[in-house]
Amino acid sequence: MADVVFLTTAKRLRVTEEILKPRTRDRISRRGFLESTALATAGLLADVSPANAALRVADGSDIAKPDLTPTKIALEEHFALAETIGDSSAAPHSPEFKRQILDLGSGRVAEMDRGGIELCVLSLVNPGVQVIPDVSQAVASARRSNDYLADCVAKNPKRFKGFAALPLQDPQAAAEELTRCVKQLGFCGALVHGFSQIGEADTAFYYDLPQYRPFWATVQQLDVPFYLHPREPLASRRQAYEGQQWMSGGPWGFGVETSTHALRLMGSGLFDEYPKLKVVLGHLGEGLPFSIWRVDHRISKPGLVIKAKLPMRQYLRENFYITTSGNFHTPALNEVLAEVGVDRVLYSVDYPFEDTSEAAAWFDQIALSETDRAKITRSNAVKLLHL
């Protein structure tokens, strides 16, 4: 053991970042990317094991102590409108839960204080406006939700910010609404609940489709993040969950649905056309950081046709951010840090589906350097959201 050297997270990530120093986007090959990252990943994970679940430092001198002083910024925190709560994922929950998700006043602030959260970026609860097949109704519903949220934020701007709900049933209307929300209402970006249903209830339109390219151009021009949040697959497309309906939502189906959507965006060449896009995934990446190497490995084999010019891992590292929402598991966080680096990870809770105190108790006991802890809980969000 005397010969074992434990590096701080920051030092290990600096080594990795040096090895993975960004190259010209059109010069790195898929195989070259895979080979260049193998050594870095192996070195970064050398001290990540069941016996060393938390990120380690040599003597503990660089470890931040638990602190519930409100300094955290949380990005995946939900609210509901009283008029539509019955059509949302909040409907089956208890009266206390409904009180929590409707409260954007003193009760919400008290809960934030309890979890050491200074600022919440609020978003309309799942499935939002994506579930409304009628285009005009979806557009009107998004505008009502955003106006309501803007009023609530205006009453307490030091504690609340907003992500826009977007009617992606109409890409042009969605681009216009995002522009209005960012430039007039002061929102930080958008949070969208997966695919949109258009015209008929049994439809699913994903945002890699060609008609969404002008919308993505607007997102890049505004320089704001697009948070891709989960939703359940359509009832007609749940054959894999027959007899096991508990799997279709948060425990499993959410991650499958959202990681698949993210891969569709990557594989479509979207990030080659708009290389400055910033997409956020919750729940420690919806399983993608764990699986992304194999995705690239199989794509590199002969016979597969893909529009993307770069490896999927490169898009994950350059165009995606990942939050801790609802996934308070240190080995999983270690994997995310190893795959994308500390500058791409942000703190979130997923309130009120998750408890702010539980999230804080987990995160505050992880052995992180002061620098890395500050990045995840605050400074990364400040930079991403232009706060």
Nearest-CA neighbor of 77 among 152, 183, 175, 179?
A: 152
pLDDT given for residue 23 in this prediction: 40
* pLDDT at position 19: 36
Task: Give CA–CA dist 301/296, Å, rounded.
Answer: 9
User: Going residue by residue through the chain (387 aa), what tens digit of pLDDT does each one get?
Assistant: 333 333 344 443 443 444 344 444 443 445 454 444 444 444 443 343 333 333 433 333 344 444 567 799 999 999 999 888 877 777 788 899 899 999 999 999 999 999 999 999 999 999 999 999 999 999 999 999 999 999 999 999 999 999 999 999 999 999 999 999 999 999 999 999 999 999 999 999 999 999 999 999 999 999 999 999 999 898 898 999 999 989 888 888 889 999 999 999 999 999 999 999 999 999 999 999 999 999 999 999 988 889 999 999 999 999 999 999 999 999 999 999 999 999 999 999 999 999 999 999 999 999 999 999 999 999 999 999 999
Query: Strand order in 226-229's β-sheet?
Result: 72-79, 117-124, 160-164, 189-193, 226-229, 279-281, 320-323, 345-346
Return the pLDDT at 103. 94
Q: What angle is formed at CA 231 by the lines to CA 310 and CA 119, rounded to 5 degrees?
A: 85
Q: Where are the domains of the chain?
A: 9-385
Q: Is 121 helix (H, G, I), strand (E, B) or coil?
A: strand
Place of tokens 């194999």: 294
pLDDT tens digits for range 83-93: 888 777 777 88
pLDDT of amino acid 67: 54
Write out the E strands in the chain. 72-79, 117-124, 160-164, 189-193, 226-229, 279-281, 320-323, 345-346
For 144-161, the DSSP string reads HHHHHHHHHHHHSTTTEE
Tell me how far apart the alpha carbons of residues 196 and 218 are, in angstroms, rounded to a whole number.
18
**301 in Cβ contact with 263 (< 8 Å):** no
Q: Enumerate the active-site residues.
A: 350
For 42-79, what is each residue's pLDDT tens digit? 444 334 333 333 343 333 334 444 456 779 999 999 99
pTM listed for this prediction: 0.84
Positive or negative: CA dihedral 360, 364, 369, 374: positive
Question: What's the CATH number for 9-385?
Answer: 3.20.20.140
User: What is d(CA 164, CA 182) in angstroms, rounded to the nearest whole number?
Assistant: 8
Distance of alpha carbon 282 from alpha carbon 321, whole angstroms: 9
- Rounded to a whole number of angstroms, the distance between the first and last alpha carbons of the chain is 45
